[in-house]
Structure 1
Amino acid sequence: MPAIFSHRLWLAAMPLLFVVLWSTGFIGAKFGLPYAEPFTFLFIRSALTLALLAPLAHWLSGEWPRGIRLWGHIAVSGLLVHGAYLGGVFYGIYLGMPAGLASLLVGLQPLLTAGLAGPLLGERLTIRQWLGLLLGLVGVALVLGGKLDPGESLFQGFGLGALGAVLVALLGITGGTLYQKRHCTGMPLLSGTVVQYLATVALFGIGALLFEERSVEWAPVFVLTLGWLVLVLSISAILLLMALIKRGEASRVASLFYLVPPVTALQAWWLFDEALPSASLAGMAIAIAGVVLVVKGQPARADKPRT
């Protein structure tokens, strides 16, 4: 009986554990970026992940995408889902955007996806989803309004460059989700992720060569952060997601994704003293409610972004 209870408790905790792991990606960016530039940081992380994930994919499944065309589609989705998304988030935080706010903005991906799924994929929005879209926009306006600084920085601690970078991340993960749904339906999850990382490593490598000095300070904090992002987030979180999908729990993961911004904001407040004004807190609650309405009004998606 104790073994059965422990097994059931583990199954119940798996979706929440996945969300907690996902939220730490934003915190990892905050910890690691003082020691390496964004593209350089992401190139090292992606290369290490690829080196570990490729043999793991061969060992666990042995199934690889079939046909050069599918490989190409998977690579494009990787450039969007990993390249534009991670690059935008890391650059936004690098330029001063708080980790909690970055998490909230890219957490609006279900809203933007739902808004574009109609014209691009022929999906109809329900009244509940339209209400969710409206609430999400109102919430973001309140959050950004609460951070507005009439001084030169425009927002408290960051400017339009950081906001633009995170918006690129939002557009990247949204476009990647729609592209993957349309063109990568036959993608094996684990080996397909390897193909995505192949394209991502090339993108970040080119970015580091062209735009950065590629200097890294191998301080203990950076090494530990890199190890966490590679082993716990990029490897363990993927395996956990595979286990959830295998057990039919993907819908629970989708419904719990709206918890990521407040969990990230709580972690950022505790670790970095990132505080949000009362108007921003109200806006975050309204935006999360909007995401909940959109997610509850559509079929569950298994193709969630990875941090």
Structure 2
Amino acid sequence: MRSLFFSLFIPALFVWLWSTGFIGAKYGLPYAEPFTLLLIRMLLTLSLLVVLARILKTRWPGWRGAGHLAVTGILVHGCYLGGVYYAIDGGMASGVVSLIVGLQPLVTAAAAVFFLKESVSGRQWLGLVLGLLGVALVLAEKYGGHGSGVGLTIWSLLWSLLALAGISMGTVYQKRHGTGADLVAGTLIQYSAAAMFFAVGAFTLETREVEWSLQLQLSMAWLVLGVSIGAILLLMWLIRQGAASQVASLFYLVPPVTALEAFLLFDERLGGLAMAGGMVAITGVALSVTQGQKT
């Protein structure tokens, strides 16, 4: 009974923590620019990871492995988080951003066909089509007038697509050049590379002005402890228990969870067309992921 509880609760908790990353971003962005906020988040997270690595006596990879991890970090954390934060900063609703980047399993499957020569079933292709159709319906409502698209720009859409491309290509790259490195060491190297990426962006594109309000401090504390550290520790536990596949199958729940949180906290509303599109997109991702589990 206890084993069943943990096998259901821990993956669900991990997905919830991941979804709150979008909410934490919206809380913090009024007080710091995206790359500046992310740079601070990464530096704080790295300071905690260094302590954790010393406690766990982490095994470090060689230079070649570290290089591959750095590339993955720039794609998965740098482009992904940078794109998400700039999309939200540009006015895109948190739920819509999470839905777009939630297509990652579908885009990754498609990219694997071209770069890894993997086969994709008809069910997975159907999932890809449904996912894209669902997002198109959401964007049609948000950008189609009727006052719902106020504050949204084409740049926010492009940033969200950068986030989707980054995490998708990063996943494929990691699969192709996996180093088998210790998870803490690998995460620390990836975050270090992402921090350098954010530093370049902050010093070239932004003013780096920060208003240290209580809201920003609370948001930063949650993003560091709850998301960057807490989610990683849960992921470590899941991997050790051999339950990582459960995380993949639950990832398609992130968009609706984020949309619910955004509605409760920010009164972000999705109309009938957008809600229908969201369900279609989630169904598409679910088809792809469940197919991947069976093969």
Contact 2:7 2:243 in 1 (8 A): no
Which one of the candidate residues 107, 127, 151 is aligned to 1:112?
107
1:12 matched to 2:12: no
Contact 2:84 2:160 in 1 (8 A): yes
Per-residue deviation at 1:248?
Answer: 1.2
2:60 match: 64
Cα deviation, 1:19-54, whole Å, max 9, x if unaligned, reads 000000000010000010001100000000001012
Per-residue deviation at 1:165?
Answer: 0.4
Cα deviation, 1:47-99, whole Å, max 9, x if unaligned, reads 0000101221232242111x211111110110000000000000000010000
Amino acid corresponding to residue 268 of structure 1 in structure 2: A
Task: Give the Cα separation in 1 of the matches to 2:254 and 2:216.
Answer: 23
C-alpha change, 1:8 and 1:289, in structure 2 (3 Å) is closer
Unpaired segments ≥5 residues, structure 2 = none
Cα deviation, 1:185-240, whole Å, max 9, x if unaligned, reads 32221111100111111111121111111111111110000000001110111010
1:206 matched to 2:200: yes
C-alpha change, 1:283 and 1:71, in structure 2 (3 Å) is same
Unpaired segments ≥5 residues, structure 1 = 301-307
Per-residue deviation at 1:299?
Answer: 4.5
Which one of the candidate residues 45, 48, 71 is aligned to 2:44?
48
Correspondence list, 1:1-307, <5 A = 5=1, 8-65=4-61, 67-150=62-145, 155-299=149-293
Amino acid corresponding to residue 156 of structure 2 in structure 1: A
Amino acid corresponding to residue 60 of structure 1 in structure 2: L
Task: Give the Cα separation in 2 of the matches to 1:54 and 1:181.
Answer: 25
Q: TM-score, normalised by structure 1?
A: 0.92
Cα deviation, 1:228-264, whole Å, max 9, x if unaligned, reads 0001110111010010111111111110100000000
Contact 1:137 1:287 in 2 (8 A): yes
Per-residue deviation at 1:7?
Answer: 6.1
Contact 2:66 2:189 in 1 (8 A): yes
Contact 2:202 2:208 in 1 (8 A): yes
The alignment partner of 1:173 has SS state of: helix
Task: Give the Cα separation in 2 of the matches to 1:285 and 1:7.
Answer: 31
The alignment partner of 2:92 has SS state of: coil
- Percent identity over the alignment? 55
Cα deviation, 1:147-189, whole Å, max 9, x if unaligned, reads 12448x9933211000000100000000100011111232221
C-alpha change, 1:8 and 1:133, in structure 2 (3 Å) is closer
Task: Give the Cα separation in 2 of the matches to 1:184 and 1:55.
Answer: 25
Task: Give the Cα separation in 2 of the matches to 1:61 and 1:117.
Answer: 35
Cα deviation, 1:115-139, whole Å, max 9, x if unaligned, reads 1111211110111101101111111
1:305 match: none
Amino acid corresponding to residue 53 of structure 1 in structure 2: L
Task: Give the Cα separation in 1 of the matches to 2:155 and 2:123.
Answer: 33
Aligned length: 294
Amino acid corresponding to residue 33 of structure 2 in structure 1: E
RMSD of Structure 2 on Structure 1 (CA)? 1.6
Contact 2:143 2:152 in 1 (8 A): no
